[in-house]
Every structure is written in C-alpha cells, then in structure tokens.
Amino acid sequence: MNGRTITTCVLALGLLAASGRVAPAQGWQNHDRWQSNNDQWNQQHPRFSDQDRQVTREWYQQHRSHLGAGWRQRDRLPPYMEGRIRRGQRLDPRLRREMHWLPADLARRYGPAPRGYRYAVIGGNIVLLDDWYQVHDVFRLDFSMR
C-alpha cells in the first residue's frame, strides 16, 4: 500500500467517527442498558421513600374534603393516559397540560426535591420529574381510602 491509500483510509475512518452515525449507536446501547437494568436505574435516580408515601396518605386524609387541582375526581385520567406515566418516560404535551405542582404544605413535608428535580401531581399521581419532564418516580395514590 502506498502512502496515499493509507492517508485516504485514515481520513475516511476519521470522517466516519466524526459523523453523527457512530455516537447515536453508542448512546442507544446505553439506553437499552438503562431500560433493562432497573436496579441500576434505581441507584442512579431519586425515588419516593416509604416515608414520602406515608406522608402523602396522611396529607390526603386530612385534605380530602377540599382537594385542589390535580387531586379531584374530575382531574382523574383515563386509563390509557395514566398508563403513559411511567418511570423513565418523558411526559408528552397532553400530560403536561394535566400537570399541577404539588401543594406547598405537602411539598414542605417531603422536603426540598433533589437539585434539578421537582414534584407534580397529574390526575392524582404524584410524580418526581427532572427539568426535561422525564419521570423518575410515580406514586399512584389509592383513592379507595375515601
């Protein structure tokens, strides 16, 4: 092989590596790894604690006669929409329109959300979201407690 052929091969490999075709494939492999290994997801992403769940149940019992937006019967989501609120999924625009921030007194009981995260209520579901509306945890409150 002459020097020109080697140079051409090196340039071609360099262009291929610099193009957008290599990086997404590597990123997708990482995505598959996160999806298939829930233990690793749980270790890397904040979640609601058992104490958060208990505090929420107590708050709901105390406030069920005067619940605000996101908690009322008329705010409940149809099953097909509720099924779209899952850990690791981004909220679509329709679900974002149904979203309400967690009531201040309940948020105080939780304490501050981790940096870059926030609490919201969607159809009676309490969710922990990041800044890109990706769901990191969902707490589905059992409304049969009435």
Q: Flag whether pLDDT at 139 surpasses 80.
A: yes
Tell me the pTM. 0.65
Give the type of residue at 131: D
- Mean pLDDT, the chain, as a whole number? 77
Residues 6 or more apart in contact with residue 136 via CB below 8 angstroms: 45, 46, 47, 87, 88, 117, 128, 129, 130
Say yes or no to pLDDT of 46 above 90: no
Domain ranges of the chain: 3-36, 48-145
| pLDDT, mean of residues 36-62 | 75
Q: How confident is the model at residue 24 (pLDDT cuts 50, 70, 90)?
A: very low
CATH superfamily, region 48-145? inner membrane protein cigr (3.10.450.160)
* pLDDT (average), residues 40-53: 74
DSSP 8-class letter at 66: G
117 within 8 A of 129, measured Cβ to Cβ: yes
